[in-house]
Amino acid sequence: MIQGSIKNKLMHVKSLGTVPIKDTIPSRHDSRNKEIVGRVVKQLEFDKYNVQYSRESLKRCLYPSKDILVPIDADRKVEVRNKVLIGQGRHLLNLQWNIAMLRLFKRTPDNLNGFDFNYSEKSSILAELKQRDITRLYVQYLRDHDLKGIARIEIPADRVSSRLQKRQDLQAFLGIMGYISLLNSEPTLINFINRSIIIKIINPLIS
């Protein structure tokens, strides 16, 4: 079921994602796709955070270089172009990252006279974090959480460079984020992203 608040956003993206599409997913990939989707669901802890998803739709998110439609609801009444979902996912993650940074490094109001004695140290850490490329942090997150190789690239394996695989893995990951953003309520989505992704990126950087 598509959540009410999310459904309104679909009215905008639907028109971007429902033009005729030629690309399809090869049926010979089904076994491997099921294996990858299972790993995605497990490593991102969808069930733990009550994230709604369809395994069939997640399979389509694994092909970021293909121009295909991803069903958002069970009846396939709403399907969105995977390229649109990638953009949606990138925007969502970047927004939650920026919000997390603001919350993490704000002055705490309950310190003596409102003065945060650790603020100078926090500022130093924040300055260092600002120099980090958020895209690289996402790629590192995928590597650290056994999500390397989730993207399906239809060229011989010996011709797939590490750089290309990383780029396509990131695109697939962002597409998955865009997909679940349209299917889940805002509280569920924000809780999932913060606990399963953002915190796990930040903690190693500030420990």
Condensed to tens digits (0 to 9), the pLDDT of residues 37-76 reads 999 999 999 999 999 999 999 999 999 998 889 988 777 6
| CA-atom Rg of the chain in angstroms | 19
71: which strand partners?
79
Least confident span in 4-13, 22-31, 95-104, 132-141: 4-13
- State residue 122's pLDDT score: 65
Angle, in degrees to the nearest 10, between helices 199-206 and 134-144? 100
Once rounded to an integer, what is the mean pLDDT over residues 195-201? Answer: 94
Q: What is the pLDDT of residue 23?
A: 65
Does the pTM exceed 0.75? yes
pLDDT digits (tens, 9 = 90+) for 151-160: 998 887 778 8
* pLDDT mean across residues, the chain: 82
Q: What is the pLDDT of residues 19-35, one digit of tens each?
A: 445 567 778 888 999 99
Q: Find, among 106, 119, 97, the residue nearest to 205 by Cα.
A: 97
Q: How many residues make up the chain in this entry?
A: 207
Question: Residue 205 has what pLDDT?
Answer: 77
Mean pLDDT to the nearest integer, 129-140: 86
Q: What is the pLDDT of residue 112?
A: 43
